[in-house]
Chain A
């Protein structure tokens, strides 16, 4: 489902309070070997976006997902991946 079509891009999605703070639901980034894990993607987003992005993505309880699975910031990523940042879930 993910990563099979390597189009040189990764998709990053945002939900809930993070989506609102960033005023962004999703964006695409050009994938390069330097973007080798989610921490690197986060650093890139903060470098591009500035203080608001730094505050929103560095909240203590922000969770990260890669291709619909919650992962650590050290999770390696690949061309075509879908990443997401969101606060703790409150289902049910």
Chain B
């Protein structure tokens, strides 16, 4: 049950193995998010991810613990990067282990939906038009709202 915030790249396959080695359950769901190579302003060459050290780690840990209680998870891992990432590099990885697929799917989705709006990271896209901070998307707010949870703490 760990959250890791790091600048270095991670290996999704190694994360999966670590999750399976640590926890036992019949349903395993993982999600990998990568840097999109396009945006409304054109081709994206790189992404800068600023984060709030200390708060980012504690928010992700609290989020994982909260979701684990809600869906009776056997285990979970969250990895989130910060710093400068190139297009198509992995940014975030979430893995959950449960006894049944419904709980595993829902838990992984809830972690990502809440992480998008609550974890203290800020993205700046670099494209041929320069660098631009990305605002919060309305669809992300809607997806977070449907879980019906307040502040994560």
Contact = CB atoms under 8 A, between A and B. Distances in A.
B104 to A, nearest CB: 19
Range, interface on chain B: 20 to 34
Interface in A51-92: 65, 68-70, 84, 86-92
Interface stretch (B9-17, B65-73, B133-141): B133-141
A87 B120 contact: no
Interface stretch (B19-27, B38-46, B48-56): B48-56
Main secondary structure of the interface of B (DSSP, over half): mixed
A65 B117 CA distance: 14
B119 interface: yes
Interface of B: 33, 50, 52, 54-55, 58-59, 80, 91-92, 112, 115-124, 133-136, 151, 153
A90 B134 contact: yes
A86 B119 CA distance: 12
B55 A88 contact: no
A68 B117 contact: no
Interface of A: 13, 15-17, 65, 68-70, 84, 86-92
A65 B133 CA distance: 20
B115 A91 contact: yes
B122 A16 contact: yes
Contacts of B80: 91-92
B52 A86 contact: yes
